[in-house]
Structure 1
Amino acid sequence: MPRPGRAQEPVRRPPTFLLPLLSVLLFALTAWQLAVDGPLRTFDESLSRQYRQQVPVTDGPAELAADLGNIEVALPVLAVAMCLALLRRRAGAAVAGCALAMACVPLLVGPLKLLFDRPGPLGGSGFFPSGHTATAVVAYGGAALLLGAPLRRRGARWCASVAALALVAATGTGLVVRGYHWPLDVVASCALGGLLLWAAALSDRWTAHLSRRSDRRRPRALPAPGPPDR
């Protein structure tokens, strides 16, 4: 007789509240250090002066990377991903969640800029947090979320996520190197964007869960009666 095998333990997924909790803590840390002029802000500004271009190059790689956060570049990428996702069944909730997340970017970033009124590396005010970085996080992260969901292979989904992370990292690096933002501005916006993406993904999962429950509760059709026996 075959030996009874040990029951395989189910794979435990990380709790859904981990990402929003880390995002809130990260943003709170950056905002606190900025408000009290803490050591993290001092390190942030010294790091920016060290890696910032002394002679600005308006058409170099850093400028092109910073432009990835422009609404004219990021929004069409998300729009194409939304159109492709709508061709798939039951993708309306994910599309609506990503659209709402993008709409919330200026609603969150604008008041925070006025509240902190942080001077920029090259002058001016209202640079915390970075609107370009938050736009890149939601646009490219949302595109990866929409396009990666129907992929069956885990490697393909990982490639979509890595591509989104690479675009966001390039955007933040370009903004810092060109002197458009301090590093903490970029980090805080990554936290805000991650929080918005989590909300979009959660709405999609919750809608899919409700849809599966409704399908299970729906009564099955009875088979058609056969011809009467003579």
Structure 2
Amino acid sequence: MAIPVALAAVLALISWQVAVDGPLLELDTATRNGVRSLRKALHSIPLNHFGAAFSDLGGSFPAVPVLLGCAGLAAWLAHRAGRPRWWLPLAVAPVAAVLIPLLVVPAKAWFARPGPYGVPLAPEQWGWYPSGHTATSAIAYGTAALLLARVLDPGLVRPVHAGTALVCLGVGAGLVWSDYHWLLDVLASWCLAGLVLWTLAAALRRLDPR
């Protein structure tokens, strides 16, 4: 229980600081200014394109199709192995996909935080906190890895988890590098995604102990 408690505590702390415009937000400003200075000093167009491309991996497309495809693969492998609840991934994946907007959109609307450029929000905008792309990538790819890990050969589980973690880290880094999000937007979404994945993993262990 230590991990979910720690994630919830960090998420609550960041959310409180964003809500009251607290001193922790100075970390966001310092990070943004540091990244801008580094980006200007390097002046690397390929690196900038690389950061933007990584951040795009956090969009609903391709993240949700990857999740659904991996769920289908996991269900097929479970069915081929003769598991009685082989269909479980097909039920879990849509739940995870639906949870993303249900958790992120209301929070964005409530906090209504402007982005790193400091431009006031337009009436049709939800706000930047928490990061939707970060949450989408971490929950979608994380759930996909969780489902696959239950049916893959044990030797493949660690590479799948490591690759998923690298992609999710890349999305967050790309968002901050490209000035698409504040650092705390990204950190909060990672905490939120961690809580969702921990809950899904616990539910899967109860529904299918094997």
Is the structural similarity TM-score above 0.5?
A: yes
- Partners of 1:147 and 1:200 in 2: how far apart? 13
- Partners of 1:91 and 1:32 in 2: how far apart? 42
Aligned equivalent of 2:95: 100
The one-letter code matched in structure 1 to 2:195 is L
Report sequence identity in percent: 39
- Partners of 1:19 and 1:93 in 2: how far apart? 25
Distance 1:66 1:124, change over 3 A: farther
Mapping of 1:63-212 within 5 angstroms?
A: 63-87=52-76, 88=78, 89=83, 90-122=85-117, 123-125=119-121, 126-153=127-154, 155-209=155-209
Let me know the Cα RMSD of the aligned residues. 2.1
5+ residue gaps, structure 2, are 122-126
**Contact 1:113 / 1:129 at 8 angstroms: preserved in 2?**
yes
**Contact 1:65 / 1:174 at 8 angstroms: preserved in 2?**
yes
5+ residue gaps, structure 1, are 1-16, 213-230
SS of match in other structure, 1:69: coil
Q: Which protein is richer in helix relative to its size?
A: 2
Cα offsets for 1:78-104 (capped at 9, x unmatched): 111011011113243344233212211
Aligned equivalent of 1:21: 5
SS of match in other structure, 2:208: helix
Cα offsets for 1:128-158 (capped at 9, x unmatched): 00011000001111111111112342x4211
TM-score, normalised relative to structure 2: 0.84
Q: Give structure 1 regions of 4+ aligned residues with deviation exceeding 3 angstroms.
A: 52-59
- Partners of 1:62 and 1:82 in 2: how far apart? 28
* Higher Rg: 1
The one-letter code matched in structure 2 to 1:46 is A
TM-score, normalised relative to structure 1: 0.77
**Contact 1:109 / 1:131 at 8 angstroms: preserved in 2?**
yes
Aligned equivalent of 2:21: 37
- TM-fit CA distance, 1:18: 3.0
Aligned equivalent of 2:124: none
The one-letter code matched in structure 1 to 2:145 is A
- TM-fit CA distance, 1:124: 4.5
